[in-house]
Amino acid sequence: MINSLRSTFIAATAIVLSFSSAAVEYRLPAEGSNLVGENQYYVVPEGKLTLEQIASQFQLGLTNLLEANPGVDPFLPKSGSTLLIPHQLILPDTKREGVVINSAEMRLYYYPKGKNIVEVLPIGIGQIGKDTPENWVTQVYRKRANPTWTPTVNIRKSYAAKGITLPAVWPAGADNPMGLFALYVGNLYAVHGTNATFGIGLRVSSGCVRLRDEDIKHLFETVPVGTRVEFINKPIKATEEPDGNRYLEVHEPLSRNQAEFESTEPVPLSFDKNTTRFVAHPDTDSFTLKRLLEQRSGMPTRINP
């Protein structure tokens, strides 16, 4: 399922995190800590409310909610059912500067210069074969409001195969696939808006990073040109906290090909040296670890007793 509006109850955690106009804002943790936020709960109200609408309300992508709530109907979650809102997370193990985009969890992290906070926003990423970059450090080279879209030759060919003729340049406007704002991070890639109301938290783009309208507007207004941007692909995040508790956060890895994407089998997880060393710790509870690697809930879970 992962591959393919009002709240009636919220466990408030304003001390740890807060909602800005277009981001979930976390206070950075103490030195040596990487764990931020608290999970929340939401009771689905009466009426036809899609999971996308709920995800949008809580600044999450669709995949974030599907991982945390396996079996929920993405089109019409049951009224009166309780959803877990995954707002606790482990910060990526990389430089806390500028923008960090973790494709595997479909989240964008922004560390504003001079502030002790991180803003977290949900994103849509590239389709199979049109993957969003990874292991790449770049910067915001320029910004543009009301961008035009110039589809590449290959994109025009792929659309033509579906019977759709794209113009050489798509004019600016509300129906432009680039949305209303764009931050350009290279010759081929941008962080931009969208003309669609569905797709944040999914693999929908031609390689660029998509955000909802209010989110890209927020970044456009707050992220300066020249800001460092790092692309990573880390489905597993780990942290040993100052109190000795050790947490692992596991997301479903991104499929590398169409066959893997369409398969009913889970995508294999791979471990780098640091993660292998982390889970091999003698205090690791093997039952908890096994369950976590199977469930891939996308939420930090303590793996030591």
Q: What is the pLDDT of residues 223-276, one digit of tens each?
A: 999 999 999 999 999 999 999 999 999 999 999 888 888 888 999 999 999 999
Say which of 87, 208, 218, 251 is annotated catalytic.
Answer: 208
Residue 258 has a pLDDT of 86
> What's the whole-number average pLDDT of the chain?
90
Q: Tell whether the model's pLDDT for residue 15 goes beyond 60.
A: no
The residue ranking higher by pLDDT, 258 or 279, is 279
For residue 129, give the DSSP letter. T
Say which of 192, 218, 251, 281 is annotated catalytic.
Answer: 192
Q: What is the pLDDT of residues 81-125, one digit of tens each?
A: 999 999 999 999 999 999 999 999 999 999 999 999 999 999 999
Residue 23 has a pLDDT of 86
Residue 36 has a pLDDT of 98
3-state secondary structure of 117: strand
Residue 18 has a pLDDT of 54
Q: Is 208 a catalytic residue?
A: yes
Q: Is 218 a catalytic residue?
A: no
Is the Cβ–Cβ distance between 104 and 251 less than 8 Å?
yes
- Token look-up 């209010």 returns 214
pTM: predicted TM-score of the whole model, two decimal places: 0.90
Question: Which residue segments constitute the domains of the chain, with CATH numbers given?
Answer: 91-232 (2.40.440.10), 236-302 (no CATH)
Q: 93 burial class (0-12, 13-18, 19+ CB within 10 angstroms)?
A: middle
Residue 176 has a pLDDT of 87
Q: In the chain, pLDDT over 90 holds for what percent of residues?
A: 73
DSSP secondary structure letters along 183-233: EE-SSS-EEE--S-SS-TTSEEESSSEE--HHHHHHHHHHSPTT-EEEEE-
- Token look-up 């096994």 returns 290
Q: In the chain, pLDDT over 70 holds for what percent of residues?
A: 93
Nearest-angstrom CA–CA distance, 183 and 144: 7
Residue 17 has a pLDDT of 52
The residue ranking higher by pLDDT, 291 or 171, is 291
Q: 292: pLDDT confidence band, cut at 50, 70 and 90?
A: very high
